[in-house]
């Protein structure tokens, strides 16, 4: 069984990719929506929540845990790996490298939470791969809240997306790295707003979820954790799970 957790519903964007690669696998998902968003919370707080959720997922039978949250990965995954040495943990990776290799304008945009943008994991990746390009960063202000409400399109969503996207596009970005697992659910709105702002620019959006899913599969195959007993999914939340279940239903 694969355990997945996020601060809210965003980790379903990672589950969506895992499901494609593991069609006969069982999953258990935990949305910590009562404590969402994580982006502005302190590292110790996030580690405490990550420990509790890890124990919950292990009690449910998870053999591997995907930390489907960029902020939680940055804050807690090193601690989790130390404290649970027998459990494989898969985290989110900042997709700076493929973005740098693909940009035509020499400007890569990054939309992420405050916690991700100041984390060592992100900063080290940026330093390693972004020598010859400009990185234009912005917090996706209000993005997580939109997804948690299930409001991924429409005038209000477009206005909120525009406020954070326009400064990046104004700097010349032709690629947007999504640094939060909630943000892929806003991809269509991001593309629509970008086309209205800069109709002559071709914008590419990079979602790291497919690469994370491939890595998880490799680890599971290496450790003989892949199941063929038939698909199942358990959804759990620390708060109201209504919107979580609604978003899950949109995946199929």
Residues that are catalytic: 69, 180
- Quote the CA–CA distance of 73 and 133 in Å, as a whole number: 25
Closest of 18, 19, 26, 40 to residue 7, by C-alpha: 40
What residue ranges in the chain does DSSP mark as E strands? 2-6, 26-31, 64-67, 89-90, 107-112, 134-139, 175-179, 204-206, 232-237
Q: What share of the chain is helix, strand, coil (3-state, %, to 5)?
A: 50, 15, 35
Q: Measured between alpha carbons, how far is 252 from 235 in angstroms, rounded to an integer?
A: 15
3-state SS, residue 244: helix
């Amino acid at each position: 069984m694969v355990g997945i957790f996020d601060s809210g519903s965003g980790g379903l964007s990672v589950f969506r990719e895992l499901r494609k690669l593991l069609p006969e696998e069982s999953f258990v998902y935990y949305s910590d929506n009562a404590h969402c968003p994580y982006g502005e919370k302190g590292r110790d707080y996030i580690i405490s929540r990550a420990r509790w959720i890890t124990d919950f997922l292990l009690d449910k039978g998870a053999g591997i845990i995907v930390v489907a949250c960029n902020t939680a990965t940055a804050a807690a995954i090193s601690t989790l790996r130390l404290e649970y040495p027998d459990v494989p943990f898969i985290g989110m990776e900042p997709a700076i490298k493929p973005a740098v290799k693909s940009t035509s304008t020499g400007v890569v945009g990054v939309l992420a939470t405050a916690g991700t943008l100041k984390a060592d994991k992100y900063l080290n990746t940026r330093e390693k791969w972004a020598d010859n390009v400009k990185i234009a960063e912005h917090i996706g202000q209000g993005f997580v809240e939109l997804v948690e409400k299930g409001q991924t399109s429409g005038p209000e969503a477009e206005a909120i997306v525009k406020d954070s996207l326009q400064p990046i596009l104004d700097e010349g970005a032709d690629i947007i790295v999504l640094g939060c697992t909630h943000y892929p659910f806003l991809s269509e709105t991001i593309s629509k707003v970008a086309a209205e702002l800069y109709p002559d620019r071709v914008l590419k959006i990079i979602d790291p979820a497919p690469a994370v899913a491939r890595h998880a599969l490799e680890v599971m195959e290496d450790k003989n954790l892949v199941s063929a007993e038939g698909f199942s999914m358990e959804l759990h939340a620390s708060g109201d799970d209504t919107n979580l279940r609604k978003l899950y239903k949109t995946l199929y």
